[in-house]
């Protein structure tokens, strides 16, 4: 529900439990980030759903992960259930209308959504080291591997490529150590084993091509609503490190790819980071520091990041300090640790003289929360005890059939669903290897062009511009990142890696804050 550039979240209560006033998220401060916290079953996902609906209605694309499958209902028209109607009446939401939202489902495994992939090269050494839980020595080896690949023009696309490069490094450890720093066989061996584990966990699905184009997550429908990208994450959650690394990679992609916009009227994209504790759990300090940096800087690119987690203490202090829009659902306070968390949570709010924050946090009902949003000049509003509005879309999961239908209607239908044919790619590369001196042709684009009506979506979608040139133009050009290295490691090995490394002119690729490729 939209009103003068604000998203209606719910209605706050006076001490005598009568309605106080509507609580709104001001779109101008939507890029000042946010935090949704609360114990299990207190209403976090519904709050996320309500916020996502609001952003979409305002024309702001949204990305969120669906950890339990219960967010998928946002793609369907809501239904007038009794308890929802009751909540609507309680807060004076009249009329309480229903709406289905333009959803694009994504899934690393390609089962419950369109495939999401990236290449090893694009993920970069820092995040990859995190994904592989690498020690410092192993991370050093990974860095050298990337340096070798960058300088030698070797494409690191999938796990196989990295495996091949590591094999090469093990065989030539002495020579490489002399030139780049210590590459111990033990470290390489550990990395090779870690790669095997990753493969067994199904991470191979995630590495390869066609890689995700960020612009596909920034679509707007023809009637001006922002696409809601929902990542099916129930299976993914079984590999928490892959989940966290993937979301970090996505965040860093947004950061590296989007231009500066200063403080826009409304965000260009809002990114919900559910189960955010997984991001910070035993993450090395350097990574936390980089995340803090990305969160701070991505604001001026018009991206709002909203962390969703049980406990505000899950988020490091430096990150927490940057989260302006806050919704705190109920917390329990039985153990001393829980009591500390309640105290911490209470202390982050601008106090309201009519109630005690800490007491209120433990007494909140389901779908009720302490809410404080940024107001004029970006000052946090006084905290209010708020009944969150019921969503306009369906509450709860959808059926497989409904999901299939949404996926067929999707503007990216058929674009990501099939792996790029490895075998024919290999043949092409073999052929090209034979005439290495010739310049590379632009990569072929066989998938239907997004932005064009793909016949099933009814011309419902448009592509966002990226600031400096029409989106379609951008589409036509081969992307530098996929164009720069078209040879696989296997192929390059045939041409003698040693030679290419030794004679390299050192065209190292520029990498961004989180170590992913910078463009
Ligand atoms: N704003 C609301 N209006 C009406 N009902 C609500 C609201 N918020 C939550 N509820 C009710 O509470 C239930 C649990 O909410 P929700 O799934 O959002 O909890 P959660 O905090 O995400 O839990 P978990 O940590 O287990 O994921 C919902 O299924 C719904 O029945
Ligand atoms: Mg939930």
Distance CA(303)–CA(217), nearest Å, equals: 12
Q: Ligand 1, residue 395: give the atom nearest the CA.
A: 29
| For the chain, percent of residues with pLDDT exceeding 90 | 61
Confidence of residue 519 (pLDDT cuts 50, 70, 90): low
Distance 49 CA to ligand 1 centre (A): 10
Distance CA(115)–CA(201), nearest Å, equals: 16
Condensed to tens digits (0 to 9), the pLDDT of residues 281-328 reads 888 888 899 899 999 999 999 999 999 999 999 999 999 999 999 999
Residue ID of nearest Cα to ligand 1 atom 23: 41
Residues 310, 290: contact at Cβ < 8 Å? no
**β-pair partners for 231:** 65, 106
Q: Ligand 1, residue 48: give the atom nearest the CA.
A: 18
Place of tokens 């966002």: 464
Distance CA(46)–CA(176), nearest Å, equals: 54
| Ligand 1 close to Cβ of residue 39 (< 6 A) | no
Q: Which structure tokens are listed for 42?
A: 């207190």
Cα dihedral 429, 216, 299, 512 in deg (nearest 10): 0
Condensed to tens digits (0 to 9), the pLDDT of residues 487-504 reads 555 445 544 444 444 444
Q: Is the pTM of this model over 0.75?
A: yes
Q: Count the neighbouring beta carbons within 10 Å of the beta carbon of residue 224.
A: 11
| Ligand 1 close to Cβ of residue 116 (< 6 A) | no
Ligand nearest to C-alpha 47: 1
Q: What is the gyration radius of the CA atoms in the chain, in angstroms?
A: 24
Mutate to test the pocket of ligand 1, among 1, 36, 37, 41 (most ligand atoms within 8 A of CB): 41
Residues 105, 84: contact at Cβ < 8 Å? no
Ligand nearest to C-alpha 44: 1
Place of tokens 């003289």: 353
Per-residue three-class SS string for 199-227: HHCCHHHCECCCCCCHHHHCCEECCCCEC
| Ligand 1 close to Cβ of residue 13 (< 6 A) | no
> 247 in helix, strand or coil?
helix
Mutate to test the pocket of ligand 1, among 10, 45, 70, 89 (most ligand atoms within 8 A of CB): 45
Q: Ligand 1, residue 389: give the atom nearest the CA.
A: 1
| Ligand 1 close to Cβ of residue 330 (< 6 A) | no
Ligand nearest to C-alpha 73: 1
- Note the residue count of the chain: 519
Is 475 buried (19+), middle (13-18) or exposed (0-12) by CB count in 10 A? middle
Q: Is the dihedral of CA 459, 465, 470, 476 positive or negative?
A: negative
Place of tokens 């997550």: 217
Measuring CA to CA, which residue among 117, 226, 114 is closest to residue 464?
226
Q: Which structure tokens are listed for 14?
A: 């006076």
Quick check: 480 pLDDT over 60? no
Residue 473's φ and ψ, nearest 5 degrees, are -55, -45
Quick check: 454 pLDDT over 80? no
| Ligand 1 close to Cβ of residue 41 (< 6 A) | yes
Condensed to tens digits (0 to 9), the pLDDT of residues 102-155 reads 999 999 999 999 999 998 988 999 999 999 999 999 999 999 999 888 877 777
Q: Ligand 1, residue 43: give the atom nearest the CA.
A: 18
Looking from the CA of 490 toward its CB, the CA atoms found within 13 Å total: 13
Residue ID of nearest Cα to ligand 1 atom 8: 367
| Ligand 1 close to Cβ of residue 126 (< 6 A) | no
Q: Ligand 1, residue 46: give the atom nearest the CA.
A: 18
Q: Which structure tokens are listed for 39?
A: 């114990």
């Amino acid at each position: 529900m939209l009103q003068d550039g604000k998203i209606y979240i719910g209605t706050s209560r006076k001490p005598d439990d009568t309605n106080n006033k509507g609580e709104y998220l001001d779109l101008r401060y939507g890029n000042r980030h946010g935090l949704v916290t609360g114990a299990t079953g207190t209403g976090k996902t519904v709050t996320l759903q309500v916020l996502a609906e609001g952003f979409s209605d305002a024309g702001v694309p949204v990305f969120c992960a669906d950890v339990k499958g219960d967010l998928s209902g946002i793609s369907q028209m809501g239904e007038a259930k009794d308890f929802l109607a009751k909540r609507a009446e309680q807060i004076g939401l009249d009329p309480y209308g229903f709406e289905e939202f333009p959803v694009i489902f994504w899934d690393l495994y390609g089962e419950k959504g369109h495939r999401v992939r990236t290449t090893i090269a694009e993920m970069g050494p820092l995040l990859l080291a995190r994904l592989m839980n690498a020690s410092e020595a192993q991370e050093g080896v990974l860095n050298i591997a990337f340096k070798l690949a960058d300088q030698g023009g070797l494409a690191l696309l999938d796990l196989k490529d990295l495996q091949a490069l590591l094999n090469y490094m093990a065989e030539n450890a002495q020579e490489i150590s002399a030139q780049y720093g210590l590459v111990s066989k033990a470290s390489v061996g550990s990395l090779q084993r870690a790669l095997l584990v990753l493969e067994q966990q199904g991470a191979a699905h995630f590495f390869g091509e066609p890689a995700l184009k960020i612009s596909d997550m920034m679509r707007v429908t023809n009637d001006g609503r922002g696409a809601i990208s929902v990542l099916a994450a129930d299976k993914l959650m079984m590999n928490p490190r892959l989940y966290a690394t993937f979301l970090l990679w996505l965040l860093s992609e947004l950061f590296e790819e989007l231009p500066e916009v200063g403080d826009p009227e409304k965000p260009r994209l809002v990114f919900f980071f559910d189960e955010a504790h997984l991001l910070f759990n035993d993450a090395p300090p350097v990574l936390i520091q980089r995340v803090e940096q990305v969160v701070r800087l991505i604001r001026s690119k018009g991206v709002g990041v909203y962390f969703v987690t049980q406990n505000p203490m899950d988020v490091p202090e430096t990150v927490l300090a940057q989260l302006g829009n806050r919704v705190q659902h109920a917390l329990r306070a039985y153990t001393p640790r829980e009591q500390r968390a309640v105290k911490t949570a209470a202390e982050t709010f601008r106090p309201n003289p009519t109630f005690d924050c800490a007491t209120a946090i433990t007494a909140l009902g389901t779908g009720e929360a302490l809410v404080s949003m940024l107001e004029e000049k970006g000052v946090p509003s006084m905290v209010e005890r708020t009944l969150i509005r019921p969503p306009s879309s369906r509450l709860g999961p959808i059926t497989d059939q409904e999901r299939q239908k949404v996926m067929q209607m999707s503007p990216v239908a058929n674009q990501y669903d099939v792996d790029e044919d490895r075998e024919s790619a290999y043949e092409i590369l073999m052929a090209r290897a034979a005439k290495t001196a010739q310049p590379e042709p632009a990569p072929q684009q066989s998938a239907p062009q997004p932005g064009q009506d793909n016949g099933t979506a009814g011309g419902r979608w448009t592509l966002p511009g990226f600031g400096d040139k029409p989106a379609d133009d951008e589409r036509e050009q081969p992307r530098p990142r996929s164009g720069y290295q078209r040879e696989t490691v296997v192929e390059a090995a045939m041409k003698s890696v040693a030679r290419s490394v030794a004679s390299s002119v050192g065209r190292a690729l520029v990498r961004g804050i989180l170590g992913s490729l910078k463009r």
